[in-house]
Structure 1
């Protein structure tokens, strides 16, 4: 059994003839040294088809747009150069913020702790202890394989759990709507029945009145009565045999409507039970909120508040870090501070809304100013709501719930 398993794994990714099939995906190696970049390329060429090299500060945005890499390998001899390159790429290249991308940074032993912290904070996706080249040079290829697999999974990822939960809550409202409509329908049927009964009584009274007028001689020019008792009996028979059956038929029509309403509710009960179960499950789902704020004290306050209300949290200290996180994460809602260094909240919101994947992600702006133009500009940038600092905790939670419940998957 173990040998069969190993053989099945070995055959994965091979052609029928047993030859290796390179993994699909474009890799770009960025470096300030042609020799270093070529060395990395040599290590990868047997595993991947599309590998490109980019060197020179003047090629930073152009090469990325030209090659559209899925994985960016930062092969610089110092961490400072790698950070500077990636920050410049983010500043100058709109495309890097609008496509899924994985970053792998190559480092030496003296930098490994710093790189670890940067990857932990999601500035970069992964790192390899590379300089000098070790015996485990295949580790780089494996890291890129994992990155490409992650990207493939990201492309096929459907609606988030929170989006499903929002729809489940909408579905759970069906029972209340159905009950309300059935009650209203019953009232309409009752009103219709009363109207028919009143009409029957009214017609009977009108005929009795006509009979009385004729018998009393109130219409001498129209009718001459020779047998008053016979006329009275004939009108009574007419009411009983000709008029009342029609009203009785009209009343009988409403009875099947009452039965249909009750049967309809009974047949809906299994579906309503499913809706209740979905709603119960939806209450267990913890939506993910990305908090973008450069104020540490503010982040701590929001952390305590939202964690206590069962939200998963991601944090970014500015717009660039937020856009970097969004390359790999898909939050259900974003709390965006307006005043931040490097890129303010409105510009960050505009840029993320240009990415189709995040066009429907609700953004709530957090601002210290309540002027009308600030509110208007927030909405124009793509925000669904805003709160003014210092904000009321209950109000913020209410706005978050409202925005999440309004999410409709495309």
Structure 2
């Protein structure tokens, strides 16, 4: 068993919320001798460089913020590229599937359900202990230059993603997209829109419009079946070009974007939408059958709000849609 000392190991909690950071520190202080906070956005990179933590706890309320913060450390920091460390990301209940995928694919090392606080308050310090055991094992067998070179190569690839901010690619094409106007677009007639229901609430009087972009019509039927009992108006596009043309006619509240399409891949379409300022605020959830780490990172870099991996079940898609539309 790898040997480590919790009394001398450094745990750094990074957060944009003072209360959340203090709560995480309180839970960790019981077992760890050096638990430090990094809550000043101006000094977060400097905090990591100076404190060189063994475990980095990312305590941002939005999972996407944790991803972006870590990528910023890789881009701007020096110590993060040479300091062996482990990452633990905190997440909300609705973000657990995405947090699991990020850890499974190697973006982070572990996740902890933190909001709302679960009954298992010891889960966070346990994750830190496991992270230190893993790190100790790596250090014990670290063959100097070879593994470190592989480690730095992985970091360098992530850094390359930061050299091309969202909206940079395809800016000229994106500028041609006109502001969304009136209707005139065929929508799903299976009842998913709920337009015939009595106006029992503002949400039902004005159902949210969801643009589903996928070249597979069978996938259209799946999404329609899953969301048929919810108060949404569904609009379907059969490809990237079709989606950009539809944006001239209808402004959706949410876009569900497939990645693999014959004319344009979903990430390229997402970048074009993000490049047009009038559409930059529309949330885009990437739907992909690939689970590789680079797909997750590329999706966030393109400007995606979130992602769902196919095949997805009914609850996963409904919860993600509700979460993004702030209806959960």
TM-score (normalised: structure 2): 0.44
Structure number with greater Rg is 1
Greater relative contact order structure (CA < 8 Å, 6+ sep): 2
TM-score (normalised: structure 1): 0.35
Q: Whose helix proportion is higher, 1 or 2?
A: 1
